[in-house]
């Protein structure tokens, strides 16, 4: 019995990873600055359509088309942004996007005509072609590959937290009777972008990114090489569906919720508060629990949670009272928050792992097209379906699409190399040997012979 106990005590044990991942102080600094910049975005982006319509006098149709142009400009500029980032490095490429976005938001503060609003919207869209892939490529160079999932998950959560905080502040301070309040928040957003850009340039020496080869000696390759990578292409298709389903929470969910619980938008506010709380509280635990498990498995589980989200949203339609319907809707977006936290560290880490270093900007550019295409398509489907009384089929279809994509993600896991797909587990540690037992019998010394 003693021998068995001694053997078990000497067996190696798996160390419990810390709650905060070891991504390094520089990466934490970049994430913090990005979160502060997202506070600025939260001040303005949710109110852009209302601002152009109510304050600058543009029709809703004109304002909507102008903002849609911003999305198309982002899609068109993203491949170019990826190429530039591979040539000049992620810091300078990211800074280009930040400066463009800052100037665009500063310009919105003073627009008076549709043409000037269009120029600002196009500049803001082009900026997105640099910022999405620039930040992802920068973070991939700042942290070891084992922590890529962690840093991308934290990027998603801190950015959403900053954006939500900015939207909350803006909702409290904006006044339609005082146009200067809108001017102030747009100038604040402009400042947040430009200060972030200046900080990155000032801190360049802290970034331990690998030296880049001169263009004439770097390996040759472009988007032809990138698009022949089946892992990237499948990951982008899966992510596009996931993002499309996620964005229905901003497109279809508010309209559906107000239809089910008429008279007050309070349930929508509570649901989004529950969503943000679930996302923030679960992200660090999810990153720790993923150690030793596959990224595609976590993404598939996220798909199951998205299916549950829209299943709960659909179930609310059949519940009898306002209280029951409200509870189901709030719970649905809380589940969505956990699903988003599960998805955020997964597929983006896979594509950064398979990307050659000299093409990582392009890989991230292609991947992040999903974040620009899906938000354009989601409102169109939601508006058409809900406008034609097809809310129940829409919710059922979103749930079914999520389950189908979860299954395809498990199949995709077979394509991904095992060392890329599996998040490194905590190291095994051999416990320190126990101190030898001491004899409880006191030692007696004798002062004489026999």
pLDDT in tens, 244-267: 999 998 888 888 888 887 756 778
Q: What is the mean pLDDT of the chain?
A: 86
Poorest-confidence range of 56-70, 118-132, 329-343? 56-70
| Same domain membership, residue 177 and residue 72 | yes
Tokens of 158: 């801190």
444 lies in some domain: no
Q: What percent of the chain has pLDDT over 70?
A: 87
| Same domain membership, residue 236 and residue 158 | no
121 lies in some domain: yes
Which pLDDT does position 220 carry in this prediction? 63
Which pLDDT does position 331 carry in this prediction? 95
135 lies in some domain: yes
120 lies in some domain: yes
Which pLDDT does position 7 carry in this prediction? 47
> Mean pLDDT throughout 432-438?
53
| Same domain membership, residue 83 and residue 29 | yes
pLDDT in tens, 287-311: 999 988 999 999 999 999 999 999 9
| Same domain membership, residue 318 and residue 183 | no
| Same domain membership, residue 107 and residue 64 | yes
| Same domain membership, residue 199 and residue 303 | no
| Same domain membership, residue 282 and residue 200 | no
> Mean pLDDT throughout 389-412?
95
Range of the domain at 332: 228-424
Which pLDDT does position 159 carry in this prediction? 93
**pLDDT bracket for residue 380 (50, 70, 90):** confident
| Same domain membership, residue 309 and residue 164 | no
List the CATH number of the domain containing 335. 1.20.1250.20
Number of domains forming the structure of the chain:
2
Prediction pTM value:
0.85
| Same domain membership, residue 172 and residue 114 | yes
Cα three-residue angle 78-84-88, rounded to 5 degrees: 145
């Amino acid at each position: 019995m003693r021998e068995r106990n001694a053997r078990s005590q000497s067996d190696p044990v798996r160390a419990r990873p810390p709650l905060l991942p070891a991504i390094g102080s520089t990466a934490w600094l970049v994430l913090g600055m990005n979160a502060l910049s997202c506070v600025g975005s939260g001040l303005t982006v949710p109110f852009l359509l209302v601002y152009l319509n109510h304050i600058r006098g543009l029709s809703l149709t004109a304002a909507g088309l102008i903002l849609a142009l911003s999305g198309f400009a982002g899609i068109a500029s993203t491949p170019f942004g990826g190429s530039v980032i591979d040539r000049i490095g992620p810091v300078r490429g990211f800074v280009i996007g930040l400066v463009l976005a800052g100037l665009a938001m500063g310009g919105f503060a003073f627009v008076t005509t549709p043409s000037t609003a269009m120029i600002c919207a196009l500049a803001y869209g082009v900026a997105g072609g640099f910022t999405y892939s620039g930040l992802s490529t920068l973070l991939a160079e700042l942290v070891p590959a084992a922590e890529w999932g962690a840093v991308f998950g934290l990027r998603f959560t801190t950015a959403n937290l900053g954006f939500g905080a900015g939207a909350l502040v803006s909702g409290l301070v904006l006044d339609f009777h005082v146009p200067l309040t809108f001017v102030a928040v747009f100038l604040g957003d402009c400042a947040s972008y430009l200060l972030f850009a200046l900080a990155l340039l000032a801190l360049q020496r802290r970034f331990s990114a690998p030296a880049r080869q001169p263009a004439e000696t770097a390996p040759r390759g472009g988007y032809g090489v990138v698009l022949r990578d089946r892992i990237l292409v499948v990951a982008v298709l899966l992510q596009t569906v996931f993002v499309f389903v996620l964005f229905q929470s901003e497109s279809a969910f508010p309209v559906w919720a107000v239809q089910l619980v008429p008279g007050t938008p309070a349930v929508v506010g509570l649901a989004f508060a529950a969503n943000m709380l679930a996302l923030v509280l679960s992200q660090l635990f999810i990153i720790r629990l993923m150690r030793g498990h596959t990224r595609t498995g976590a993404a598939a589980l996220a798909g199951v949670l998205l299916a549950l989200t829209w299943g709960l949203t659909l179930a609310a339609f059949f519940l009898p009272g306002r209280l029951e319907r409200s509870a189901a809707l709030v719970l649905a977006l809380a589940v969505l928050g956990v699903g988003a936290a599960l998805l955020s560290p997964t597929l983006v880490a896979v594509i950064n792992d398979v990307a050659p270093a000299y093409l990582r900007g392009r890989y991230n550019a292609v991947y992040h097209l999903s974040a620009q295409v899906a938000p354009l398509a989601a409102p169109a489907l939601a508006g058409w379906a809900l406008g034609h009384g097809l809310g129940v089929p829409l919710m059922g279809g979103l749930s079914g699409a999520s389950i189908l994509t979860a299954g395809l993600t498990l199949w995709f896991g077979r394509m991904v190399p095992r060392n890329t797909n599996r998040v490194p587990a905590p190291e095994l540690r051999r416990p320190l040997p126990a101190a030898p037992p001491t004899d409880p019998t006191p030692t007696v010394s004798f002062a004489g012979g026999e």
